[in-house]
Amino acid sequence: PFDVLVIGGGPAGASAAIYAARKGIRTGIVAERFGGQIMDTLGIENFISVKYTEGPKLVASLEEHVKQYDIDVMNLQRAKRLEKKDLIEIELENGAVLKSKTVIIATGARWRNLGVPGEAEFKNKGVAYCPHCDGPLFEGKHVAVIGGGNSGIEAAIDLAGIAKHVTVLEFMPELKADAVLQERLYSLPNVTVLKNVQTKEITGDDKVNGISYIDRETGEEHHIELQGVFIQIGLVPNTDWLAGTIERNRFGEIIVDKHGATNIPGVFAAGDCTDSAYKQIIIAMGSGATAALGAFDYLIRNS
């Protein structure tokens, strides 16, 4: 059996596996797609100590670092079930069952897509999901934020400090964000809030140049010229396969303590699939290190 089996090959999983392997214990990684969300990222400017890199380039460095160690990497394999017996068992979609003394879940998350024309086409060409990552690219420009929940309104307030103008589009007749956030939003001079509107299309040529929406009360269609669209309608953790086994919060995020431990002894979690406060590469890597050290501590106390 493995000592530490990591499920997920994004920044959290890679970091966890390297930290575990450096203890000289038997370590494996199962990943549906090694690299995770950073495979879909163009420019990265907030991975501290690296001024600028690109997603696939950072994934290549992660892979090279992982390969420095004796880590059994099982790429293109999806875990579908976890069961705690004497050892922890992970069943893969292909039917194989892997056994390990400890497991670190680092299956990440995905941004919920709007599903309108132009969204996929202009991804990284004006369509963005992360204001902390891509906000500064829109300095002095006009951007839209889709979604009036807490994350949408936080994004709008954040972007209003960088962009020239921010238009918020909310599908429902009212914003869902906390009152204090709404107050702060409405106090800003360069923000317009459109409620009860349905985004119809993100328009552009080689990059985004506008957004079309329908006023749900009148049925009229409108178009705004702008350069960026931030979609903030939810970040969904990849934890469905753990339903009924590991304790999760109402968003489906795995609940972890400060050692990365879950409610099941020997099972740890790290990165965007957990209830960590912020979802970023550097934070995912830090939590991967924490979970690996947590798992190592568990091993020396329990075996």
Instruction: Please report, in range form, the residues annotated as the binding site for FAD.
Output: 3-18, 262-272
CB of 216 to ligand FAD, least distance (A): 29
Backbone angles phi and psi of 85, in degrees to 5: -115, -135
Q: Which is nearer to ligand FAD, 181 or 254 (CB)?
A: 254
Residue numbers in the known binding site are 3-18, 142-156, 262-272
- Choice from 203, 227, 238, 262 touching ligand FAD (CB under 6 A): 238
CB of 253 to ligand FAD, least distance (A): 11
Interface with ligand FAD, residue 269, by CB under 6 A? no
Interface segment toward ligand FAD; rule CB under 6 A; list 30-38, 57-65, 211-219, 250-258 = 30-38
Size of the site for ligand FAD (CB under 6 A): 38
Look at residue 289 and give its three-state secondary structure.
Answer: helix
Residue numbers 154-183 binding ligand FAD by CB under 6 A: none
- Choice from 5, 73, 88, 130 touching ligand FAD (CB under 6 A): 130
Residue numbers 103-122 binding ligand FAD by CB under 6 A: 106-109, 111
Interface segment toward ligand FAD; rule CB under 6 A; list 33-41, 59-67, 142-150, 252-260 = 33-41
Look at residue 99 and give its three-state secondary structure.
Answer: strand
Q: Which is nearer to ligand FAD, 47 or 69 (CB)?
A: 47
Chain center to CA of 28: 22
74-86 burial code (b ≥16 CB/10 A, e <16): beebebeebeeee
Interface with ligand FAD, residue 30, by CB under 6 A? yes
For residues 81 and 105, the answer to whether their CB atoms sit within 8 Å is no
248-287 burial code (b ≥16 CB/10 A, e <16): beeebbbebeeebbbebebbbbbbbbbebeebbbebbbbb
For residues 195 and 147, the answer to whether their CB atoms sit within 8 Å is no
Q: Give the span between the Cα atoms of 65 and 222, in whole angstroms.
A: 50
Interface with ligand FAD, residue 241, by CB under 6 A? yes
Interface segment toward ligand FAD; rule CB under 6 A; list 18-26, 102-110, 149-157, 192-200 = 102-110
Interface with ligand FAD, residue 279, by CB under 6 A? yes
Beta bridge partners of 166: 143, 191
Tokens representing 128 are 């963005």
Angstrom CA distances, 164 to 89, 183, 191, 275, stand at: 53, 20, 9, 33
Strands (E) in the chain, as ranges, are: 2-7, 27-31, 43-44, 53-54, 71-75, 79-84, 88-92, 97-105, 109-111, 127-128, 142-146, 165-169, 191-194, 197-204, 208-215, 221-225, 228-231, 235-237, 267-269
Interface segment toward ligand FAD; rule CB under 6 A; list 61-69, 128-136, 204-212, 223-231 = 128-136
Give the strands of the sheet with 165-169, arranged side by side. 127-128, 228-231, 142-146, 165-169, 191-194
Residue numbers 8-27 binding ligand FAD by CB under 6 A: 8-13
Residue numbers in the known binding site for NAD(+) are 142-156
Interface segment toward ligand FAD; rule CB under 6 A; list 18-26, 32-40, 57-65, 259-267 = 32-40
Q: Which is nearer to ligand FAD, 9 or 260 (CB)?
A: 9
* Site of interaction with ligand FAD (CB under 6 A): 7-13, 30-34, 36-38, 40-41, 44, 46, 78-79, 106-109, 111, 129-130, 133, 238, 241, 271-272, 279-282, 284
